[in-house]
Structure 1
């Protein structure tokens, strides 16, 4: 029985202590999957225990001082008709027992109690409870599937499929036959969060946000709440809440921030009607969220009249700003460059560029400025693809401009430093000397580049140009030379030499040595010992 995972509770009620002790000791409760939650000597005490423990089964004597068993049963079953109530009666109380059955008792037992009979009775009782649980689970599953099917149907309509296929077609959408409006809830900086979270963390956070939204929406009688894209949820409101839509949006943001510590923004559609308008409502709410790009913090944004790039005949590429930015790059003037970025930000806000257009313009300018940086200057640690990817992830124009300011300021500072540094051969010689003194340590290219006061990319290029080696090739050769000397002139064991030349793993040292010399350290030592012997 225990293996089935069954677990029920029972309360025993009788004014005779010996019967209570007998029931607790003689019935195989654990085998039946039942736990005795408490015992009572009268109806009043039993009622308190039942309300405290909410048992599945009550076994009670019919005749007790004060509240009798039938009165107790009526009270208990009125509160929860699903409970199992078993009555115990004497031979002279058969009419009481029959009345108990009429009032809803599961069964009755005559005194003196036959423990085997009660055990069989309890088996039937738990079988009924098992069946009821199975029915409850089935009902819950059907309800969950119904909700999932409805959400799937809504998603298909939002995506423009106005003829949902299969079992979705039979679902009614009467709640959308009246006026409603849509909110699109979008986590700020979701792409960055997603890269930081593990899959388990992502599932946990998205589940938490959905729970917060569902609980919040119940307060206002929302028509539906469901996830749409990753980091995005749909909430459908009855139009009666239209006058409060902005306030509701801010309340929703505060609720998510309070309970999940995550920031989000809300886009609101105009009022519409009918399931066939879901796609249009979504477009409006998503379009409203474009305004987040021009806001420095999360907020609530409502759909307004929209004009795309074709509807902006006066929008022009800011050639004058491009020229000023290029000139600042050529003269390595960080202050002027930052002023140009600020002017560009003001231009985009003033012209009310659509979000996609503003992003495209920033990417075009970034590419042009990067090409200028590459002309006539030493190679720098520049990752154009990475910068463009970061631009796409910025949630606002403010953040995008701040990113570009920082990225280009770093480049100009590095260029200025490169003009003031020592000549290439001197810098590389300085790096070689540092490697020679620290080859036995866990030496990284970052550490040596810092000593040379160069970016990693510039250091790699300069070191290769001057020495003819990559950093790793030179470090490995230096270590192998030291190892060869020790193998030829000392009796230090191979596993002891490895850490002395920078390798903590002797096996890995042996692999590197053989690749570099064509011999294992032991073979190298033996061959050089033979040569020394001949000499």
Structure 2
């Protein structure tokens, strides 16, 4: 109900106005009246009406002064002024205070009705806009953590295109330096032999352990999931922090993470420590350094291994291809495999091979290390997509193929071949998954055709969205799910009718129809004859 208040010093006008307003038609209610602006101010503050109809010239406080006070208090209601006076200055002041309409006394019922309808329509539109804006703000708040996470991921992998974007990530008031820890979960039986949901729980548990360790030390950090069994931990320090002063503490943190994860989860980690960077645009270099050291092998530490950046290793890493940013390359390539089945792989590989041609070191061991690292990361990442590379290719085969690579171009050809094979297998796996879903649905329909089967119910059972499920079923069978259900019911009904032992209504009920005329109509549409014509 729209709440309306009336302010006028003439009681006859108040009574006439109340009688003239079509309350029910407008969906409105009267919430009070007053004979001067001062009392009107108190009434409006208390009742908060949607619309105020007010006179201008009144004792104690005039209507415009009342409106001015309310506008200063951020009152958002609508004002209709009705007055017997015509004054240019008064009209200009009313416009300045955002008065919605001016009605000259005496006002007719029709004019009052139309004016109120216009104002109510305006309020409805404004409310609609406010609701939409609120919904948008709620969505922004809801998705902000995910958006922030994606920004972090593109920053740490070096795939962000524009570093000048206005984002809190790059516009912090406090100047900081950043260092990345590259985390690799080792593929042991503890991890690889469990279902995907359990692997997600393991990764979630690892993240919680890391957050607890760092929170206890009151460190500022960001944790970013990469692909499969790889993650990055970004530590933030004061701008004037020196690497030499930090490294012992960072190593201690890494060792504690490795030890706690192994102790509480029986999961082994490798952790590499990258260099300290002064700007977010350099953060991917720290990630590359961290994972480069892991790919070179490292001494055992507790149950797992740790390797840290230093000046000499930085020079070695640059000469060995870290500047070519393999982690960024792997990220782009695996995203392409997962999302487009390798449609962009050729251009991604071509661009990276060009970078390798410009690299200062293109030795055979370097290509072998790159290939092995790519294969490890791809194996982990695609495992969650139910693509197990170790079931498609043997380790002996991959090692032999990598040993035969001598140049960057040969490395590119090898990548092309492997991605093609992976995508073919992925497509086959997807088709197999679809076939299994369709077979299950057909069996379920045959077993439950007497019940009310819904698309939502089927989608929930096979863990596929309703729209996608409809498309899969139509492509596999040539008909919609609803048509298939009807066909199964009609064929069952015909078989029962031909036995001659059941009445038509009994057959209808046995195949899920309580409405006999509807059953007969559907039967005729399907077979061209009615049930009665069939049994004659």
Shared fold per TM-score greater than 0.5? no
Q: Which has the larger radius of gyration?
A: 1
Normalising by structure 1, report the TM-score.
0.34
